Amino acid sequence: MAGESMTSEERLWSAIRLEKPDRVPVIPTLLPEPVAGLAGLTGAQVCNDNTILVDAALEIFDTYGGWDSLYPIGATPLQMQALGIFPMKMKIPGIDLPDDYMFQLDEQEIMQPEDYDNICEMGYKQFYHDDYLWRITSLTPDDIPKEMDNLLIGGARFLEGCSERNTQLFFAEHALHPFFILSLMRSMVRFTEDLYFQPDMVERALKKMTTELIEKQLKAMKGTETKIWLLTEERASAYFYPPAIFERFWWPYTKEIIDAFWSEGIVTIFHLDQCWDKNIPYFKELPRGSAILELDSVTNIFAAKEILRDHLCFHGDVPAAMLSLGKPEDVEAYCKKLIDEVGSDGGLILGSGCSVPPNVKPENFRAMIETGKNHELSRR
pLDDT digits (tens), the chain, 380 positions: 657 899 999 999 999 999 999 999 999 999 999 999 999 999 999 999 999 999 999 999 999 999 999 999 989 999 999 999 999 999 999 999 999 999 999 999 999 999 999 999 999 999 999 999 999 999 999 999 999 999 999 999 999 999 999 999 999 999 999 999 999 999 999 999 999 999 999 999 999 999 999 999 999 999 889 999 999 999 999 999 999 999 999 999 999 999 999 999 999 999 999 999 999 999 999 999 999 999 999 999 999 999 999 999 999 999 999 999 999 999 999 999 999 999 998 999 999 999 999 999 999 999 999 999 999 887 54
Whether residue 290 is contained in a domain is answered as yes
Interhelix angle 178-186/188-197, rounded to 10 degrees, is 110
At a CB cut-off of 8 Å and minimum separation 6, what does 357 contact?
Answer: 33, 34, 37, 320, 321, 323, 324
Is residue 111 a contact partner of residue 132, using CB atoms and an 8 Å limit?
yes
Give the whole-angstrom CA distance, residue 57 versus residue 36: 9
pTM of the prediction?
A: 0.96
Give the whole-angstrom CA distance, residue 314 versus residue 29: 14
| Backbone torsion region of residue 318, taken as left when φ is above 0, otherwise alpha when ψ lies between -120 and 50, otherwise beta | beta
Whether residue 22 is contained in a domain is answered as yes
Is residue 87 a contact partner of residue 81, using CB atoms and an 8 Å limit?
yes
Whether residue 367 is contained in a domain is answered as yes
DSSP H or E segment with residue 141 = none
Whether residue 84 is contained in a domain is answered as yes
Whether residue 380 is contained in a domain is answered as no
Whether residue 2 is contained in a domain is answered as no
Q: How many domains does the chain have?
A: 1
Whether residue 379 is contained in a domain is answered as no
Whether residue 1 is contained in a domain is answered as no
Give the model's pLDDT for residue 380. Answer: 44
Amino acid at residue number 298? V
CATH code of residue 236: 3.20.20.210
**3-state secondary structure (DSSP) of residue 324:** helix
Beta strand 173-176 with 89-91 is: unpaired
Give the model's pLDDT for residue 207. Answer: 98
Q: How many CA atoms, within 13 angstroms, populate the side-chain half-sphere of residue 48?
A: 18
Radius of gyration of the chain (CA): 20
| Closest-CA residue to 20 (of 269, 313, 334, 374) | 313
Give the whole-angstrom CA distance, residue 111 versus residue 185: 5
Three-point CA angle 256, 261, 264, nearest 5°: 135
Cis peptide leading into residue 55 (ω within 30°): no
Q: What's the CA dihedral at 123, 129, 130, 135 to 10 degrees?
A: 120
Domain that holds residue 264: 8-374
Is residue 101 a contact partner of residue 48, using CB atoms and an 8 Å limit?
no
Cis peptide leading into residue 345 (ω within 30°): no
Give the model's pLDDT for residue 332. Answer: 98
